[in-house]
């Protein structure tokens, strides 16, 4: 008798039925773009440690994914679940691609959309949505990552102008950005500034020799008495809460994105294991392999359902910050475990760029760390559970 047809891991969970027609269409459009325009060149970009960010941004703009969950100013105005599904498709290709889109839409554009003046919105959002301009978001500093409240970058008043000095570290899109959203300490607390590329005293230097997120631009930004007009400040961003709210937006994309990376690992590995023979039988036919595949499928399915649950809450306006921590911590951690486990099934074949799991695993090391480390999200949840903060 013929064995029953194999099912996709997520089909086992019936995830498809939880999406609307519009959501499925957006997901499928992004999936087709990634298959056509990104996947064929990905290994090359990763190996070279170089990604054609400008060309990609224009294509992503045409696709409509840049700031897609924002409304007005040329943004698509989709629901949060659709944005999440797009992030999953982008990250199924590579976390670097999703990072480009997250930083552009959820950090730079969101900051301008939420806290900018009308003139700032008009000036930047349509260009950023179209991908004709690229944005970056500078919060982390060489000595302050998990604790951005310690930042040393300062903006002081000089007449009507501001003078910005300090540095930012690990800034995605830094050297390709046309505008940097920079957070700095002022006499009035932490404020945000829009610093166009080319402003005298502002330099961006690419960070090289990365073993993770090689298909993404990462940079150090330096501000040497950068003079900015009064209008450079984001008028409605007051205190650290403003940049932290941007991070919540980007983390939401990661909750979905990580499931995309994990799904790609599992799809790749199942296809390979069915084909590959050892001891005269398919590797997929060994019970030890099946145990790994089943355990990974359980975690992928649970992570996907969690992402969808949080997405529905976001669309209902009831998503809380600590719930985003829950999703980020769980989904990135499980995606990383899945990527590594898939590599063990692929064995030697898994160590080159011919297969995605080790590339995803290396990328997910960064994803585990940025947008709040797994330790910091654990502390957020520890505090939520006990009411006792354990940060210091």
Contact positions toward ligand FAD, by CB under 6 A? Answer: 103, 137-140, 145-146, 170-172, 213, 218, 366, 369-370, 373, 375-376, 379, 391-392
What element of type H or E holds 59? helix 53-63
Q: Residue 327 CB, nearest distance to ligand FAD (Å)? A: 17
User: 89, 249, 334, 371: which one is catalytic?
Assistant: 371
Is 371 one of the annotated active-site residues of the chain?
A: yes
161: Cβ–Cβ under 8 A, 6 or more apart, which residues? Answer: 227, 228, 229, 230
71 token code pair = 């409304």
Closest to ligand FAD by CB, 8 vs 210, is: 210
Owner of token pair 């355990």: 295
Q: Is 80 exposed, middle or buried (0-12, 13-18, 19+ CB in 10 A)?
A: buried
Q: Which is nearer to ligand FAD, 69 or 377 (CB)?
A: 377
Q: Are 88 and 252 a contacting pair, CB within 8 Å?
A: no
User: Is the CB of residue 230 less than 8 Å from the CB of residue 162?
Assistant: yes
Q: Which of residues 172 and 331 has its CB atom nearest to ligand FAD in the complex?
A: 172
- Minimum CB distance to ligand FAD, residue 234 (Å): 15
d(CA 190, CA 15): 42
Q: Say if CB 265 and CB 342 are below 8 A apart.
A: yes
Closest contact distance (angstroms) between CB of 27 and ligand FAD is 25
User: What is the closest distance, in whole angstroms, from the C-beta atom of residue 176 to ligand FAD in the complex?
Assistant: 12
Q: Which two tokens stand for residue 312?
A: 């529905």
User: Cβ distance 39 to 99 under 8 Å?
Assistant: no
Closer by beta carbon to ligand FAD, 122 or else 391: 391
Residue 153 has phi, psi (to 5 degrees) of: -60, 130
CB of 173 vs ligand FAD, minimal distance in Å: 7
Closest residue to ligand FAD, judged by C-beta, is: 145
Q: How far is the CB of 385 from ligand FAD (least distance, A)?
A: 16
Q: How far apart, in Å, do the first and last CA atoms of the chain sit?
A: 63
Tokens for 47, please give them. 């190996």
Range list of H helices, 168-286: 241-275
- Rounded to the nearest whole angstrom, what is the least distance from the CB of residue 96 to ligand FAD in the complex? 9
Report yes or no: 109 and 126 within 8 Å, Cβ to Cβ: no
**Backbone phi and psi for residue 157, each to the nearest 5 degrees, phi listed first:** -75, 140
For ligand FAD, the closer CB: 49 or 282: 49
* 109 neighbors 154 (Cβ within 8 angstroms): no
CB 364 within 8 A of CB 335: yes
The residue (of 305 and 384) whose beta carbon lies closer to ligand FAD is 384
Tokens of 35: 């298959």
Question: How many Å apart are CA 173 and CA 57, to the nearest integer?
Answer: 11
Specify the residue, 177 or 308, whose C-beta has the smaller distance to ligand FAD. Answer: 177
For the annotated catalytic residues, the residue numbers are 371
């Amino acid at each position: 008798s013929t064995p029953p047809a194999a099912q996709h891991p997520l089909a086992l969970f019936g995830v498809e039925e939880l999406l609307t027609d519009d959501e499925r269409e957006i997901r499928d459009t992004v999936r087709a773009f990634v298959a056509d325009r990104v996947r064929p060149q990905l290994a090359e970009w990763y190996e070279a440690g170089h990604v054609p960010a400008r060309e990609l941004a224009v294509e992503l703009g045409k696709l409509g994914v840049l700031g897609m969950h924002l409304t007005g100013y040329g943004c698509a105005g989709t629901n949060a679940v659709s944005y999440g599904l797009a992030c999953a498709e982008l990250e199924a290709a590579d976390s670097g691609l999703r990072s480009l889109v997250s930083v552009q839409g959820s950090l730079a554009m969101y900051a301008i959309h939420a806290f900018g003046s009308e003139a700032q919105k008009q000036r930047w959002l349509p260009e950023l949505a179209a991908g004709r301009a690229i944005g970056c978001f500078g919060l982390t500093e060489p000595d302050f990552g998990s604790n951005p409240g310690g930042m040393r970058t300062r903006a002081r008043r000089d007449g009507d102008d501001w003078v910005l000095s300090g540095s930012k570290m690990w800034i995605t899109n830094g050297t390709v950005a046309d505008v940097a959203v920079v957070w700095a300490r002022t006499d009035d607390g932490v404020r945000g500034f829009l610093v166009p590329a080319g402003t005298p005293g502002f330099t961006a230097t690419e960070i090289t020799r990365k073993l993770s997120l090689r298909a993404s631009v990462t940079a150090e930004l330096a501000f040497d008495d950068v003079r900015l007009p009064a209008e450079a400040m984001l008028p409605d961003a007051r205190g650290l809460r403003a940049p932290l709210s941007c991070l919540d937006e980007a983390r939401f994309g990661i909750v979905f994105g990580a499931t995309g990376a994990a799904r790609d690992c599992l799809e790749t590995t199942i296809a390979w294991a069915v084909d590959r023979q050892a001891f005269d039988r398919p590797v997929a036919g060994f019970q030890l392999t099946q145990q790994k595949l089943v355990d990974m499928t359980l975690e992928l399915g649970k992570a996907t359902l969690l992402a969808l649950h949080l997405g529905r809450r976001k669309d209902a306006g009831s998503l809380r910050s600590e719930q985003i921590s829950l999703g980020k911590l769980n989904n990135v951690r499980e995606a990383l475990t899945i990527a590594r486990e898939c590599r063990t099934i692929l064995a030697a074949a898994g160590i080159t760029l011919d297969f995605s799991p080790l590339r995803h695993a290396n990328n997910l090391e960064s994803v585990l760390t940025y947008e709040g480390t797994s330790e910091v999200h654990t502390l957020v949840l520890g505090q939520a559970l006990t009411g006792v903060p354990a940060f210091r």
